[in-house]
Amino acid sequence: MANEVWVKSLTTITAQDNTAILDATYDPNSASYTGGTPTVIDQSSGENAAGAEMVNLELLVTQGAATDCTAEIWSSESEDGTNYTEYKYSHTVGDTIIQTTDGDGNRYDAGLYVLKAKYTKLVVNSSDDDIDDCTLYATPKLPEIQ
């Protein structure tokens, strides 16, 4: 009988909780960046993404922008957990972030991010209008032989 490789989902991580307004004029490398402090996604044995090859990203927008806008995912990586690269653009969230004022929130598929380093930080950047309140979730995906 042949083995099969399945993709197992690990516990979802709150990668970045943005309770302050994400200002569209700043990128994550700016000293004025208004996003929340990102959680380190750690591939070390026994840590939050142990053995994962990628993370599935979801963006929960509880208070949107004044107008429809777009959001980007940026990343910073480290092999030692101390010396991180500058944040760089990874990809744009595929759907337009619609104006949300009711507080119920909309959840957007924010794509997949391939984990290339032992430690990774992911952040949201609003590219056309300020986003009032959003949370980036990352679900680590681990290949498992059955």
- Give the global pTM: 0.91
Segment 66-110, tens digit of pLDDT = 778 899 999 999 999 999 999 999 999 998 888 766 666 789 999
Core vs surface per residue 51-85: b (16+ CB within 10 A) or e? bbebbbbbbbbbbbbeeebbbbbbbbbeeeeeebe
CATH of domain 5-145: 2.60.120
Segment 43-63, tens digit of pLDDT = 987 789 988 999 999 999 988
Cα 85 to Cα 116: distance, rounded to the nearest angstrom? 12
